[in-house]
Amino acid sequence: MTPSARLQAAIELLDAIIVAAREQGAAADTLIASYFKARRYAGSGDRRAIRELVYQAIRRAGERPESGRAAMLGLAEDHPELRALFDGSPRGPAPIATHETGASAATVPDWLAPKLTHIDTAALLERAPLDLRVNTLKATRDDVLAALLGAQPTRFAPNGIRLADPIVIEQHPLWRDGKVEVQDEGSQLIALACRARPGEIVIDLCAGAGGKTLALAADMRGEGRLIASDSDRRRLSQLPVRAERAGAANIESRLLDPGREAEALADLIDTADCVLVDAPCSGTGTWRRNPEARWRLTPERLDRLTALQARLFDLAATLVRPGGRLIYAVCSLLDEEGAGQAGRFAAAHPACTAGRPFDEAGSPRGEGVLLSPGADGTDGFFVASFTRPC
Ligand SMILES: C[S@@+](CC[C@H](N)C(=O)[O-])C[C@H]1O[C@@H](n2cnc3c(N)ncnc32)[C@H](O)[C@@H]1O
């Protein structure tokens, strides 16, 4: 493909990503993958170059641009060499009209900026590293470090590994044998905050495809009950295969009916040694991986999320046994979803005591701790740890 054709392909992809962001459609990565699947003629160099252009344009535009062309014209303001590629060639973009302007540059959408003043927002758009968690049911961190060139231990998580260069880990024998899982160090720390032990009853209320469930299973050494629930059938259905690969045999899955979650969990009231609520959220802490998520969030969507978080937080509290632990986490840096939720919960449950979820990482925020890309080098999370009185 010519450089102009690559630019036009990036513009078309950006158009699709903008529509998907407006209509809560597929993620940018998914759209890029299906775009190339339908265009086998694009070689690996073309794909890499187009993807790079798309992500540069997404990272540069804080607000959702009007079109892919506007996003790319904005990028061309920082990279003037791109302007010459708007050349009107058969597969290239039309020439730039005299008064045509690009999308403006910003890290954060205007309405969110005042809510993120406590954060180094530039770090939210840096490239995320590839972190692995060593599955201690099958391997030790030393074994894995020795087997992976350029791998380093993570700063805080004891079973974490950070790779200098991204690799396709799913093709590596370590992954196929269930010795490692892809998991950001921040997610590993959330699972560690649960302090799950062998023989306990642990509930992962919003387990998704089970990323943190598998970390909890390793901490429990396969002993005790680990209940993984979620309202998303597709995500939850991925867990059995992952659990089998990881050699985690003590996981029970429960599909929840949204709005009627308590019904499927009624037998667990007052029983759990630990409940983890890894609540659905805006994902502001994971913009490094999904920078177009900035274009998806609206004040109305944030309101719906905070209402759901409060409901799941309160539901989780009913499942904890006297003396048990309740861990609330969101991959968000917004106080509405993090410290605000924990503060509301603490006020409504004055007998529950908040403790520090882990010792070294994170900065105190309200009743919990904030992990952030800038300060901790992890994805952004808020996490709070409460103990129910005996
Ligand atoms: C942050 S994700 C969880 C990620 C997962 N714990 C992991 O480590 O991969 C939040 C999850 O909450 C789930 N969820 C949304 N509404 C829910 C509800 N009403 N009850 C339970 N889970 C819900 C979503 O389907 C999503 O999987």
Print pLDDT tens along the chain (390 aa).
999 999 999 999 999 999 999 999 999 999 999 999 988 888 999 999 999 999 999 999 999 999 999 999 999 999 999 999 999 999 999 999 999 999 999 999 999 999 999 999 999 999 899 999 999 999 999 999 999 988 999 999 999 999 978 788 999 999 999 999 999 999 999 999 999 999 999 999 999 999 999 999 999 999 999 999 999 999 999 999 999 999 999 999 999 999 999 999 999 999 999 999 999 999 999 999 999 999 999 999 999 999 999 999 999 999 999 999 999 999 999 999 999 999 999 999 999 999 999 988 999 999 999 999 999 999 999 999 999 997
Q: Cβ(366)–Cβ(343) under 8 Å?
A: yes
Closest atom, ligand 1, to C-alpha of 212: 8
Q: Is 257 labelled as part of a ligand binding site?
A: yes
Q: How far is the CA of 281 from the centre of ligand 1 (A)?
A: 9
Domain borders along the chain are 3-106, 130-182, 187-387
Global ipTM: 0.99
Q: Cβ(318)–Cβ(270) under 8 Å?
A: yes
Q: Is 230 labelled as part of a ligand binding site?
A: yes
Matching CATH number, 130-182, of 3.40.50.300, 3.30.70.1170, 3.40.718.10, 3.40.50.1950: 3.30.70.1170
Q: How far is the CA of 378 from the centre of ligand 1 (A)?
A: 20
**Hunting for tokens 């309405």 — which residue is that?**
111
CATH class of the domain comprising 187-387: alpha beta
Q: Is 278 labelled as part of a ligand binding site?
A: yes
Kindly report the pTM of this predicted structure: 0.95
Choose which residue among 188, 192, 230 to substitute to test ligand 1 binding: the one with the highest number of ligand atoms within 8 A of its C-beta.
230
Choose which residue among 231, 263, 275, 383 to substitute to test ligand 1 binding: the one with the highest number of ligand atoms within 8 A of its C-beta.
231
Q: How far is the CA of 236 from the centre of ligand 1 (A)?
A: 9
Catalytic residues: 331
